[in-house]
Structure formats: C-alpha cells, structure tokens
Homo-oligomer: A and B are copies of this chain.
Amino acid sequence: MTTTENVTGPIPSWDPYARGCPSRDLLDQIGSKWAVLVLGELGKHGACRFTQLRHRLAGVSEKMLTQTLRTLERDGLVLRTVHPEVPPRVEYELTALGQTLRGPLKALTEWSVRYVEEVLTAREEYDGRAVKRPSS
C-alpha cells in the first residue's frame, strides 16, 4: 500500500500484518465491540437518532455509544447531523465511505452466525478432551 502518508519518517510499504501499521489499527477500530454494532445498525436502518440507537443496542452505556460514534465520525464513516431545534435532535447515518464497509462487515457477521454452532460444538469437544487425559 506504499502509504506515502505524512508519517514521521520514510515508511516502507506497510505490511498489513506488522505492528503499528495504520490499516491494522484501523481494523482494530472498526472491529471493536461497539463499532461493529453501531455500523451494523446504521447499515440496516439508515439515519437514526442517539436515543433510538441506544435503545437498539441494548446494553450500551451512553459513554461508550458517544465515544464510538465520535470515533466513527472522525474516521469519516458516520455522518452526524444536528438539527437546530428546541429539543435537540441529532441523527447519525453512514457516509459513502461507511457504506463501503457494509459488505465486509456483513460477511463477517454472517460467518459468525452461520458457524457459531460448529464452534460451540468444537469447544465442548475440546473441553471434554481436556478433562479425561488419554492415560499413557
């Protein structure tokens, strides 16, 4: 990706699997707990208000929701629109860039849904073997 970014120093083409790689950091960002959920919701329903979002993602604290939304906004993935009304109304939606994430994210979430059973089975199997050691 030969990122000729304004990084401090001449950075050789970044290895996506190397430490400190920007794209790796980005991956961690969007793959974080709440970011996936927020992106998923906004991808499914379109524009959404703060409280609305908070209600859908049952269990998220205001702090984490705000923090997540801010990060996503800063990354240019989510658009935040403040309507100058007397009871404040703020709406969040995916930007064009954010839309490009829907596919990859969908692929991953669908994988987890599809194979969760097999994984659960594998775990039981593993745990079972761990208990009774094959006697020598």
- Interface on A for B, CB 8 Å cutoff? 1-5, 16-19, 22-24, 26-28, 30-31, 33, 36-37, 40-41, 56-59, 73-77, 97, 100-101, 103-105, 107-113, 115-123, 125-127
State the CA gap A117–B13 with chains docked (Å): 12
The answer on a CB contact under 8 Å between A112 and B76 is no
Copies in the complex: 2
Given contacts A3-B59, A23-B109, A108-B108, 17 further A-B contacts (CB under 8 A): A1-B58, A1-B116, A3-B58, A5-B117, A24-B112, A26-B115, A31-B36, A75-B122, A76-B118, A76-B119, A76-B122, A97-B115, A97-B118, A97-B122, A104-B110, A104-B111, A105-B108
The answer on a CB contact under 8 Å between B109 and A107 is no
The answer on a CB contact under 8 Å between A123 and B24 is no
Query: Which residues of chain B are near A113, meaning CB under 8 Å?
Result: 1, 16, 23
Query: Which residues of chain B are near A125, meaning CB under 8 Å?
Result: 76
Known: A18-B58, A58-B1. A75 touches B111 (CB 8 A): no
CB distance from A133 to the nearest CB of B (A): 14
Of all chain B residues, the one with the shortest Cβ separation from A61 is B1
The answer on a CB contact under 8 Å between B26 and A58 is no
The answer on a CB contact under 8 Å between A74 and B28 is no
- Which one, B4, B27, B40, B57, contacts A112 given CB within 8 A? B27
